[in-house]
Chain A
Amino acid sequence: MWAAALLRFIRKRIVLGIIFLFSLTYCIVSFMKEGSSTTSYEIDTLPVRPLDRSFLWHSPKDDLNATDMKVSACRNSVQGKVLIVDDRGYVCSRGNVLPNGCCNIDAENTKRYSCETCKESGCCSIYEYCISCCLHPDKKQVLENVLGKASETLNVLFASVTDHFELCLAKCRTSSQSVQHENTYRDPKAKHCYGEIPIAGS
């Protein structure tokens, strides 16, 4: 009984028209929505990392008392051909890396906060020395300046950095700032910079 009534209701031209119009508008609306929803998000809108308290600046005191208790493990620069630098700022040869990843401080050539091969400008020819130099507590001001002025793409990078060591690892790598004409270094002799990269007139 009610079914027949419903059927009759549906068969009415006006009802069909309404259904059709409704679907049409829904269709158009959903098309519009799809068009606009896929544009930029994610990384494009990542905020610049605020250097608040959550950012861990390295200080030599951290491990002054730690040396007594023995540091359990270090992160280090992994990649080096000959040298390795650990997160305390020690540079040593690959052979002097302890099983826990730290440099052996007792080894002859191990140096801390070494700025060998680095220039006044904050650029070094060897990556590991750049990091070691960068980890020096004095360089905090320089790094804060760098972070303040970093370009958009570099901000993406620095946004995922959590502490001083990681910042130095990332900052000392060659980047878009290190090249001119795309395929040549601005300064092939000092391409790893912890400070601002000078606009070189090489």
Chain B
Amino acid sequence: MKLKVRLRQRHFRCIGLPFLLLLLTRFKYAETCSNESFPTQFVKVKFTTQVVKNEYIVAFNAYYKSQAREKFIAAALNGLDDRHWKIIARNNPASDYPSDFDVVTLEEAENSQDGLDALRLHPAIRRVTPQRMVHRSLHFENETDFLGDADNSTNTESFERWQSSRPMKRLSLAVNKQFWQSTGRHTSRRLLRAIPRQVTAILQADALWHMGITGAGVKVAVFDTGLAKTHPHFKRIKERTNWTSEKTLDDGLGHGTFVAGVIASHRECLGLAPDAELHVFRVFTNNQVSYTSWFLDAFNYAILKRIGVLNLSIGGPDFMDHPFVDKVWELTANKVIMVSAIGNDGPLYGTLNNPADQMDVIGVGGINFEDQIAKFSSRGMTTWELPQGYGRVKPDIVTYGAAVRGSAIMGGCRTLSGTSVASPVVAGAVALLASGVLHRGNILNPASMKQALLASARRLPGVNMFEQGHGKLDLLRAYQVLNSYQPQASLSPSYIDLSECQYMWPYCSQPLYYGALPTIVNVTILNGLGVSGKVVNKPAWHPYTPQFGHNIDVAFTHSEVLWPWSGWLAVSIAVTRAASNWEGMAQGHVELTIESPPEDGETEPRRSTVRLAIKAKIIPTPPRHKRILWDQYHNLRYPPGYFPRDNLRMKSDPLDWNGDHIHTNFKDMYQHLRNGGYYIEVLGSPLSCLDASQYGTLLIVDPEEEYFPEEVAKLKRDVDAGLSLVVFADWYNVSVMRKVKFYDENTRQWWMPDTGGANVPALNDLLSPWGIALSDSVHEGSFNLGEHEMYYASGSSLLKFPESGVVVSRSLKDQGLEILDSDADSVSKTVPILGLLQSRPNEVEGDDATTEKIFSSPSGRVVVYGDSNCLDNSHLQKDCFWMLDALLEFTSTGHMPSIFKDNSAKVTFPSSDEPLPQRMEGNHLYRYSKVIENHMGTMRTRELPACPHLVWAKPQPLNTSAPSNLYKAQKLLSVGVEGDLPLWRVAPGAAQVDVDRDFGGGLGVDMMDSLAEEEGIALLDLAPALLVISLAAAAVLLACRCYRSRTRPRRKRVTRLRRLMAVLNAGRAPTV
């Protein structure tokens, strides 16, 4: 007999429900309380039975004691040798009592039934049956396996992805306009099952709903493209306002509807906080235009209306839009909890969007339903702090943002992806949580909410903190943390383990050593004590003596005032001189106290002390030739100024805005060099601050900044003393620069670039001591260097190079000409693109003493390549990391790789009085430069800034040690309600929140139900009209049928009915 029992994975609440197994018929379990439709599993129960040879169950016609039963059997089998039969003893508590059967082994000859017959004939024996052995096996099967591969497309179903690719504007983080509303989508079962899971179910929001927490009493503002007043999904649209130039309050795009739906929809595709009070702010036109000034007024209104939670599914790269940034601070200072999308510019690093990258805002990244970071989610550190400092950790938290279901513009549901989807998931969660702690009075503020979310988030394995922040949103844990929250300060990240891979990437990718520039960790202080606070005294550094904490030096800088609700603490870590040859781990902790003015009738200032554990891996200082210095100081980027892209073909992305840091858009290059055994440090100060004797090579890639004359002179001296210089330049052509100016819709003015891809005239100043110069021509094309395919994407060429050097030339197109005159035929010509030079100290020929000295102290080497795109992740087509390796081999050892020697050619450079490229007339570089300033209309060099000087904190050693694994779930101080929260104490069958959806129905029916529902939804909007039409059509049809039925004889339906009955009966009959 074969039996199939179909079960559905059910919610924990269902466990108390009666649970039946019917053995003979196919059983459909009526699910009454779960809305989870994925994943479906079956339990297959298999029975196999077999007759056990020679064992029989002898049943008597009454209950007898065992001795009596034995006598009966002996009497019946009288004559049979008693070696041939035996009663199997049953050792159980029942054996003392009379029984009505025995198990007997009866050995008989083949084909002989004598013994059996004799038994059957005995008057006290009712029946003799063979003993059977029953095997029952249970196993789980996924429905997908069960149905074959009909469902493979579940997650690969193509869905629309919303992305922002125009960083100029503050974009809604969602772009495409087509909806996939093809009606065919829901007609087959397969497609229906491809519909992604309800995000509320995955986050277990229903557990909170059942506790009566539904978002009631919280004002949620949605800043987006508007929302229709009559949309059927929303219960409480309190107010709608329009701040755009379009005279409508309705959503013409679908973005605003979707976002509002994820927060507060109460039908079909559910939102997290169905009872929250919605305030809809329309700040985007249907063409996705929006201006800072619209936002300013709308934000002011939000403050006036005392909004509690504000969702901004928008963002842009301009974190230097001061009026906007100030206004966001002002909002959070007024206790508005801001939730914003981190951006859709991933997987490139350095792509964080404002305002999500602000400390006071909850920045949300996206993951898919497999808990992987969604490809589109922006990531990398913040770039506000460059070049001197290091970026903060963002996003703060991640949640589902790919293929999430939400409300469609005309009612019904649709699926969207993007961080603008993830942001309202968190905003809805925040609204829900906020409504759950309303009874706790004043504890709720932007900091406490953020602290609770971060402390409760679940870390995703193998993903670094610059991608996932604190991890995945955990709604229920966040509720528990928040419910017991006590005002306090906390840190993000909450500990520093520089050796922990993958989470602490990039810190974990390079150990510390003596002589290195200090490693900076930018920690965000979240201050739940009050909107304004300060760090009391100085943070104290406690190295752990048993764990070699004394081998590191720590220095601090922090914000003067922590406002609003947050501030930063920069921890600079370096190795002490004493440990220059030491290898091992050093540990310790930092302690700091935060203070805020008293609140809620208190008289004493509020104080909170936090600890920051520190752990670092230390190695002996690597040899000089393995150490590379990356020049960050001379890299400028948007914002503030217009620094154009390095690849002129990428017209969709006009700006160079990823920070040009080894941990942002040069990340792959960094990783490649680390794998090659090089150690890379970042110089955030002028070249004059550099201790050249420490490094083998200085890497200057794509620099936009000018150089101080002191730097030019210092670099020449350093190279003479053995430092090598590698320059990757980029295009610079005044005519092309004028051509790529554009009208910026947001600032409503023309934007003229202040440099080219790189600042070639400034580079020429820097390289002049070696007689090297770059041209202002722009070249593009593919070529081969040895076996390697290379792509030159908008670069310059060499204009001058010393005779003694090795120069590589290739045939490239003149892209400058193409851009200036689109009709012109592309002209290819052979241009020098790479030059390698073994430098010699200044030629003071004739002086024997000095010439001798030259050869005794080998000076450094200089390499110049005309294009930086092959190192930059931004628009990387073909990388040239192999070439960088070869160049570094040359600069660090002086050995010229054969690939350059073989491909070099004699180039006749134009005479030395050929004019060099000039800076663009009237450029505004001085506005953004740290080097030059405008003095009465002429440019002049600023005063050389002082080199950074760190004051190391005085160590206060402790004779303790800490566990080597610092990561544990962050614990916030709490009042004593932790532990048993009424979360799980919901009676099965507790009244449902008035969410208009029937989750019931048997399995098969359930599917059909949702099918009908899906179609019903689409129809719902055209409701009355369609209804009437269908009514009319029905009437007409009916009439026709009546006419026909009169003329034709009735068809016999009996046969069909019978067949149906037969099928039904067959279905019920046992198959074995």
Contact = CB atoms under 8 A, between A and B. Distances in A.
Interface of A: 10-11, 13, 16, 19-20, 23-24, 26-27, 30-31, 38-44, 78-82, 94-95, 97, 99, 153-154, 156-157, 160-161, 166, 169-170, 173-176, 178-179, 181-185, 188
13 contacts: A10-B1039, A16-B1035, A30-B1024, A43-B242, A81-B532, A99-B602, A153-B294, A160-B305, A174-B296, A181-B749, A183-B292, A183-B747, A188-B322
A174 B748 contact: no
**B: contact size bracket:** 35 or more
Contact of A183 (B241, B318, B335): B318
Given A19-B1032, A23-B1029, 6 more contacts: A16-B1035, A19-B1035, A24-B1029, A26-B1028, A95-B597, A166-B304
B272 to A, nearest CB: 25
Contacts of B294: 153, 176
Given A160-B305, A174-B327, A183-B321, A23 B1032 contact: yes
A29 to B, nearest CB: 9
Given A157-B297, A176-B296, A42 B241 contact: yes
Interface stretch (B1-9, B244-252, B545-553, B961-969): B244-252
A122 to B, nearest CB: 18
Interface in B722-746: 746
Contacts of A176: 293-294, 296-297
Given A31-B1025, A40-B247, A174-B327, A182 B291 contact: yes
B323 A183 contact: yes
B376 interface: no
Interface of B: 228-230, 239-243, 247-250, 291-294, 296-297, 300-301, 303-305, 318, 320-324, 326-327, 330, 333-335, 531-532, 561, 563-564, 597-598, 600-603, 605, 746-749, 1024-1025, 1028-1029, 1031-1032, 1035-1036, 1039, 1042-1043
Nearest to A127: B330
A11 B1024 contact: no
Given A42-B241, A43-B240, A179 B296 contact: yes
A176 B298 CA distance: 9
A20 B248 CA distance: 35
Contacts of A27: 1024-1025, 1028-1029
B241 to A, nearest CB: 4
B296 A175 contact: yes
B300 A94 contact: no
Nearest to B1032: A23
B247 A44 contact: yes
Contacts of B603: 99
A161 B303 CA distance: 12
Given A31-B1025, A176-B297, A81 B561 contact: yes
Contact of B334 (A42, A79, A157, A181): A79
Contacts of A182: 291-293, 321, 323, 746-748
B249 A44 contact: yes
A42 B305 CA distance: 16
Contacts of A183: 292, 318, 320-324, 746-747
B746 A42 contact: no
B297 A30 contact: no
A42 B230 CA distance: 13
B597 A94 contact: yes
B304 A157 contact: yes
A169 B306 CA distance: 13
A26 B1030 CA distance: 13
* Residue among A27, A170, A176 having the largest count of chain B Cβ atoms under 10 Å: A176
B323 A40 contact: no
A38 B1039 contact: no
A81 B330 CA distance: 10
A184 B322 contact: yes
Given A11-B1042, A79-B564, A170 B601 contact: no
A135 to B, nearest CB: 17
A185 B326 CA distance: 11
Contacts of A38: 228-230, 250
Given A16-B1035, A157-B297, A94 B532 contact: yes
**Nearest 9 Cβ contacts at the A-B interface:** A176-B293, A79-B333, A23-B1032, A183-B321, A99-B601, A23-B1028, A182-B292, A27-B1025, A181-B747
A78 B531 contact: yes
A95 B305 CA distance: 27
Contacts of B228: 38
Contacts of A169: 304
A30 B1022 CA distance: 10
